[in-house]
Structure formats: structure tokens, C-alpha cells
Amino acid sequence: MSKKQVLILCTGNSCRSQMAEGLINARLGNQYQAYSAGTKPSGYVHPKAIQVMAELDIDLSQNESQNLEIFKGQYFDYAITVCGSAKETCPVWLGESGEVVHIGFDDPADATGTDEEITAEFRRVRDEITEQVLGFLSEK
């Protein structure tokens, strides 16, 4: 049985979509192959995203922020947008694939406060992604 293909889409491809990709591949990798991309990629993976995922033994340190266009023409069973901006600018060609789903999360990169408060926000969003995105795919 081949793995179902999942594309996680956000704007910058530096936090939420990267964490979702890592979680899916680590926790549901026997069923799914996940990729992530951004509509306007930031060009980096946020250090805090790398840090909070490492706490779960998931290594994002070699990941790269990618432009959605590199996936044009590829089939995905699911395309999941994780931010409102990506949902609004989701390209029409993704609809030619499988199901396009929006599961939105706050952007932890917008967090302010002390280092510990910002890290806590990244953990909160990571845990929400774990619950909601993995929960959605587990039910499929």
C-alpha cells in the first residue's frame, strides 16, 4: 500500500507548516508522506520551531523553507492550509488534487515577551497541530 501524500501550506513555511510536516512524518509516516511549502516562503525555518520539535525527538534542522510552486503538477491526497493567508491565496491547481482542508493556527513567530514566553507559545501551537492535524489524518 502506498502512502497518502499530504502538502501542508502556510505563508512563510517557517513554523506551523514545518512543525506539521515533521509531526506527520514522525508519527504517521507509515500511512502518510508529508511535505510543506509557503505561498511567500521566508527562506528559513524558525529556530524556535526547530527547538520545540527537538523536544519531541523530531529534527527539523535540515528542513528548508520552500515555495509552493515547486509542487505544481504533483498529486496530493490532502492539502492542508494552516494559516488564514494561505487559505485565501491557496492556488486553484491544488483543488485538482485531493481534498483541500483548512486547519488554522496562531502564528507563534508573532509571539512577544520573554524567551520563555515565546517558547511556550511555540509549544502551544505545536501541541495544537499535534492534536488537530494528526487527529484529522488519523480519522481518514
With CA atoms as reference, report the closest residue to 101 among 131, 136, 68.
136
Position 20 pLDDT exceeds 90: yes
Active-site annotation holder among 6, 7, 9, 10? 10
Active-site annotation holder among 28, 45, 49, 83? 83
Residue reference for cell 525555518? 45
83 counts as catalytic: yes
Which alpha helices (H) appear in 66-114, and where do they start and end?
A: 84-88
Q: Looking at residue 86, what is its pLDDT? A: 58
Active-site annotation holder among 26, 56, 58, 90? 90
For residues 121-129, average pLDDT: 98
15 counts as catalytic: no
The pLDDT tens digits of the residues spanning 41-96 come to 999 999 999 999 999 999 999 999 999 989 988 889 999 999 876 556 656 556 66
Q: Looking at residue 85, what is its pLDDT? A: 67
In sequence order, the 6+-apart residues with CB closer than 8 A to the CB of 127 are: none
10 counts as catalytic: yes
Pairwise CA distance, residues 124 & 42, whole Å: 22
Sorted by where each starts, the structural domains of the chain and their CATH numbers stand as 4-138 (3.40.50.2300)
Which of the pair, 140 or 126, is modelled with greater confidence? Answer: 126
